[in-house]
Amino acid sequence: MNLWQKIFLTLGAVSALIVCIFPPQLISSRSVKFLPITYGYPIDWFRLFLWLVAIIFVAGLGIVTNKGEHR
């Protein structure tokens, strides 16, 4: 792996960890906030899934884009 691939992998892992620690939680019928997982509100699993998919997609795209660089 080159430097850019390592950077994208690290940022993706840190972002996924942060979203897992602070998942989107339902505060009211129209309000979702990112609160610590221990806060006690129900987690919005669909939004959490979308955030994780987006993080994996962006990190993977960055890794694949920089694959041929600095062989």
User: Whole-angstrom Cα distance, residue 42 to residue 24?
Assistant: 9
Structure tokens at 65: 């884009």
**Distance linking the first and last C-alpha atoms of the chain:** 9
Q: What pLDDT does residue 4 have?
A: 87
Q: What pLDDT does residue 70 have?
A: 55
Q: What pLDDT does residue 12 have?
A: 96
Q: What pLDDT does residue 65 have?
A: 86
Residue ranges in the chain whose pLDDT is less than 50: none
Whole-model pTM: value is: 0.83
